[in-house]
């Protein structure tokens, strides 16, 4: 990557309010080509500038640089097989909170896991294991469904969910799943229409868990009844574990709905771009 001196960077930024569109576009392309290392310099320039037009141009440049980095990370995460779900959710999280470090999120998640682990007993039946997790997550740590602001973008941001202890079905299931997996339990996500749930799937026990309803345990027949109620034909994917990639895609779809309801078409388009990275169109 090309390195520019501070005076060269200053000269570039000063051209951001040039009236010649071509000059301005050339300057912006040049700054974008410098990559993320230029962000701290741009932020400093924003603080010291008294020109609202230049400030607005800088804001757009910083957002573009951060968004390009997000897309690059998401592509790498997908290429790696999306093994680390928390990493994928963190990458999506940086859309709203670009300065959030993965280590910070990981430490918060570890703290929640530790709280559950200290009250957990692996010797009891699968049903009782889940009841123990439910008691700690929903009674002790007070995680709950955000029914008041169901469509808030914050419900799809895992850092926000850990801070407020409120979430939507998929974010609450993600927290639950990350804890259960670390405890070594055969718990996985299940992509139901209109509702994301979990399944406990082992030779000795197989049932479903609704994290949006305080970890309510239900059966395969209940899933059938639910689908019948929605007038949707049963498909294997409504009963079987889904991938981390599926969880990330559903999280992005929820974000699209959130921004659409807030009347933010630019954000809707950007999140659609992210979804296309995980789900390229079939040609």
Whether pLDDT at 15 is above 90: no
The 10s digit of each residue's pLDDT in 39-49 is: 777 777 767 77
- Grade residue 227 by pLDDT with cuts at 50, 70 and 90: very high
CA-based nearest residue to 276, from 254, 236, 241, 249: 249
Q: What percent of the chain has pLDDT over 70?
A: 91
Query: Domains along the chain?
Result: 6-79 (1.25.10), 85-278 (no CATH)
What mean pLDDT is predicted for residues 58-77?
88
Tell me which range, 14-28, 52-66, 123-137, is most confidently predicted by mean pLDDT.
Answer: 123-137
What mean pLDDT is predicted for residues 56-67?
82
The 10s digit of each residue's pLDDT in 96-136 is: 999 899 999 999 999 999 999 999 999 999 999 999 999 99
Residues 6+ apart with CB under 8 A from 82: 88, 243, 244, 245, 248
The 10s digit of each residue's pLDDT in 242-260 is: 999 999 999 999 999 999 9
Residues 6+ apart with CB under 8 A from 239: 190, 199, 220, 223
Whether pLDDT at 23 is above 90: no
Whether pLDDT at 90 is above 60: yes
Whether pLDDT at 1 is above 60: no
Q: How does the average pLDDT of the chain come out, rounded?
A: 90
- Give me the pLDDT at residue 10, please: 67
What mean pLDDT is predicted for residues 142-151?
93
The 10s digit of each residue's pLDDT in 183-192 is: 999 999 999 9
pTM: 0.86
């Amino acid at each position: 990557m090309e390195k520019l001196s501070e005076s060269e960077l200053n000269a570039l930024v000063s051209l951001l309010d040039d009236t010649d569109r071509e000059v301005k576009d050339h300057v912006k392309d040049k700054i974008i080509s410098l990559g993320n290392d230029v962000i701290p310099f741009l932020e400093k320039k924003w603080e010291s500038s008294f020109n609202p037009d230049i400030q607005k141009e800088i804001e757009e440049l910083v957002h573009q640089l951060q968004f390009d980095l997000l897309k690059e990370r998401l592509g790498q995460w997908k290429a790696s097989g999306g093994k680390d779900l928390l990493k994928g959710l963190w990458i999506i999280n940086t859309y709203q909170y670009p300065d959030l470090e993965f280590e910070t999120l990981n430490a918060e998640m570890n703290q929640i896991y530790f709280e559950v682990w200290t009250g957990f007993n692996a010797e009891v039946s699968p049903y009782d294991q889940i009841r123990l997790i439910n008691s700690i997550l929903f009674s002790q740590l007070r995680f709950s469904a955000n029914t008041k602001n169901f469509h808030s973008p914050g419900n799809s941001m895992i850092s926000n969910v850990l801070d407020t202890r409120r979430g939507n079905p998929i974010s609450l299931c993600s927290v639950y799943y990350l804890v259960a997996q670390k405890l070594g339990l055969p718990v996985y996500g299940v992509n139901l229409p209109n509702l994301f749930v979990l399944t406990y799937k082992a030779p000795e026990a197989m049932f479903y868990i609704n994290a949006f309803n305080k970890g309510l345990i239900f059966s395969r027949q209940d899933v059938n009844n639910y689908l019948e109620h929605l007038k949707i034909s049963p498909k294997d994917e409504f009963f079987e574990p889904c991938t981390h990639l599926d969880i990330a895609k559903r999280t992005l779809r929820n974000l699209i709905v959130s921004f659409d309801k807030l009347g933010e078409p630019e954000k809707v388009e950007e999140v659609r771009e992210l979804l296309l990275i995980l789900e390229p169109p079939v040609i």
